[in-house]
Amino acid sequence: ATETCTLDIGGMTCASCVRRVEKALDKLDGVTEARVNLATEVASITFSPELIKLEDLTKAVTKAGYSATPHQ
Ligand code: 9UX
């Protein structure tokens, strides 16, 4: 089963930043899809809760140099 979550991303200023965040998330085991919207600064992530936790997702984003906090 997969689940979708959204994260507020901070620190992105260009389209390359968007790609960096998407790549950092996409490469993780358990992440099916990661899409980042630069205008809203929100990342939409589809993942398998059995394989990866929300905390691992936020850690991957901060490791890439951006901030991440659960949206809404
Ligand atoms: Mo371009 Mo985004 O240096 O940090 S990748 S602004």
Does the C-beta of 13 come closer than 6 Å to ligand 1?
A: yes
State which fold the 3-70 domain adopts: Alpha-Beta Plaits (3.30.70)
Query: ipTM score of the complex?
Result: 0.84
What are the domain boundaries of the chain?
A: 3-70
Atom of ligand 1 nearest to the CA of 15: 2
- Global pTM? 0.94
Which residues contact residue 7 at a Cβ distance below 8 angstroms, ignoring those fewer than 6 apart? 42, 43, 45, 57, 58, 61, 68, 69, 70, 71
Does the C-beta of 17 come closer than 6 Å to ligand 1?
A: yes
Does the C-beta of 16 come closer than 6 Å to ligand 1?
A: yes
Give the number of other Cβ atoms within 10 Å of residue 43's Cβ: 26
Reply yes or no on whether the pLDDT at 72 is more than 80. no
